[in-house]
Amino acid sequence: MKHTGTSPSYRPQLTLPGQAHTAEGPHDQTGMYVMHHALRRDFDRFAAAVEGTPIAEHEVWAALERRWVAMADVLHHHHSAEDDELWPLLQRHAEAAADAAGLRVLAEMEDEHDDIDPALEKVRDAFASMSAHPCTDHRNALEIRLGAAHELLQSHLADEEQHALPMLQRSLSEEENAAFETAVERRYPLRAVPFILPWAMDGVPADARERLLESAPPGYGLLLRIFRRRYERGERVAFRFA
């Protein structure tokens, strides 16, 4: 940590397209902001694909269903880590500081997760129906459910960036934040890395990509180059009409 007089100076946090707020502070939140960027990007792509894919394109609808399941699985692990590791930690700090506003923020975070999870399941069911029997009615139902889930997630990501991540910056010690990030990494099985790594990096500016790889285990840059080809082939099929 560098100091200018008595005021600490931290490396500026990452700001990516669509980000509602950047919470400056001592803890590098590059991974969190990259995750949010990937989710926003995906929901935009899914909306365009559902609107633009011809009903008769069975292969594409099946690819979209598989792609939705992969993304939803990543989001499930991400939310589970926050529910089990981050919110309770922040709650202890808020209770110790008698921070009523902070406690309300954390309650809202949990409520929003509770709303998002069933909305994602409804979209999964709608993709399954469209994949099994593509028709106008199934696509209309899918568009409605996807739009509802999109709205919930957009609102949640903005709330988290504007309220929860500033709490993280001002509340957690270096050791607590490191423990949380380790817990997050352990949530993702190794079998998921070939998807998650190129997925997270998709559309991220080069400087942000390099910044994320700085904190990744050795060899992740090579793995990214290896896994990216397969990932991009899948993207071309699923989002052919997006």
| Residue 182: alpha-carbon gap to chain centroid | 17
Instruction: Compute the distance between CA of residue 92 and CA of residue 98 in angstroms, rounded to an integer.
Output: 10
pLDDT tens-place string over residues 130-175: 999 999 999 999 999 999 999 999 999 999 999 999 999 999 999 9
Amino acid, single-letter form, for residue 23: A
Amino acid, single-letter form, for residue 76: H
pLDDT tens-place string over residues 192-229: 889 999 999 999 988 888 888 887 778 888 889 999 99
Whether the Cβ atoms of residue 221 and residue 213 lie closer than 8 Å to each other: yes
Whether the Cβ atoms of residue 235 and residue 64 lie closer than 8 Å to each other: no
Residue bearing the bigger pLDDT, 159 or 187 = 159
Instruction: Compute the distance between CA of residue 51 and CA of residue 144 in angstroms, rounded to an integer.
Output: 11
Alpha helices in the chain (DSSP H): 30-52, 58-81, 87-96, 100-132, 136-159, 165-171, 174-187, 193-201, 206-214, 220-238
Amino acid, single-letter form, for residue 240: R
Query: Dihedral of the CA atoms 167, 43, 125, 106 (nearest 10)?
Result: 10
